[in-house]
């Protein structure tokens, strides 16, 4: 029951750290990464997001936008109109993902797209 | 049926590009990101990976390692022994994810861990 053994410390050190575990708790759920990447180009309406992310259903988008909003990455931006217009935008916290997502995209271009072109 | 309308071009431009779609096809599956992050610290045996990634079952790890190997990110490293020892290691392609994953971890430390500490 004691938590002061050296073994425990070593395991924790090599084990996956809290920050990256939480990151993949978000980005390791289908659609979340692609929704954020799409919003990096600017705010978008719900119907635009459905169109811009191939395969994403309306039900799933609504669920994911709720999760991303709860995590503080996406905000609803309501223009009172008329007509009322609702768009979804990245918060500063979501926007801060840009360098990491650009690095992932760069890796994908180099290692997934080109490698799959070769036999 | 023609694919030369300006509209189509614009949609494709704003739409999520192939590279990042493929990246999240891999990293947007639960456990894949955490397995890669764990292997960034060095090769590990199957049993070590089960221990180092909390919540990951043996069945799921076997499935994910197969997928990551098929995608060319992870390789089985067999030491003929005796005793025979099998370890899993990142390939050069997997290792090339390091900068992007470090950027994600940095973002997580700044925006998920510290923000959740505050009320």
Contact at 8 Å (CB) between A39 and A68?
A: no
Does B55 or A83 have the greater pLDDT score? B55
Chain B residues touching A27 at Cβ < 8 A: 24, 27-28, 33, 104
Q: CATH assignment of A6-117, given 3.20.20.70, 3.90.1300.10, 1.10.357.10, 1.10.10.10?
A: 1.10.10.10
Contact at 8 Å (CB) between B21 and A34?
A: yes
Contact B108 A14 (CB under 8 A): no
Query: Cα-flanking dihedrals φ and ψ of residue B70, to 5°?
Result: -65, -35
Architecture field, domain B30-117: Orthogonal Bundle (1.10)
Q: Which residues contact A28 (CB under 8 A, 6 or more apart)?
A: B27, B28, B29, B30, B31, B32, B33, B34
How far away is chain A from the Cα of B79, in angstroms, using its nearest Cα? 23
Q: Which of helix, strand or coil describes residue B86?
A: strand
Q: Report the residue from A52, A100, A107 with minimal CB separation from B14.
A: A52
Average predicted confidence (pLDDT) for chain A: 83
Look at residue A14 in the predicted model and tell me its pLDDT.
59
- In this prediction, residue A81 has a pLDDT band, given cuts at 50, 70 and 90, of confident
Region of poorest pLDDT, from A87-91, A103-107, B81-85, B113-117: B113-117
Over the stretch B37-80, which tens digit does the pLDDT of each residue have?
A: 999 999 999 999 999 998 999 999 999 999 999 999 999 988 88
Interface confidence (ipTM) of the complex: 0.77
Contact A104 B27 (CB under 8 A): yes
Region of poorest pLDDT, from A13-22, A90-99, B83-92: A13-22
């Amino acid at each position: 029951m004691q938590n002061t053994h050296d073994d425990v410390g070593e395991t924790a050190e090599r084990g996956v750290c809290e920050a990256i575990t939480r990151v993949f708790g978000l980005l390791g759920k289908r659609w979340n990464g692609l929704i954020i990447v799409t919003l990096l180009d600017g705010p978008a309406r719900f119907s635009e997001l459905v169109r811009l992310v191939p395969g994403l259903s309306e039900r799933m988008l609504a669920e994911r936008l709720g999760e991303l909003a709860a995590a503080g990455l996406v905000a609803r931006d309501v223009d009172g109109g008329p007509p009322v217009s609702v768009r979804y935008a990245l918060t500063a916290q979501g926007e801060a993902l840009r360098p990491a997502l650009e690095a992932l995209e760069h890796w994908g271009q180099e290692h997934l797209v080109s490698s799959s072109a070769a036999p």
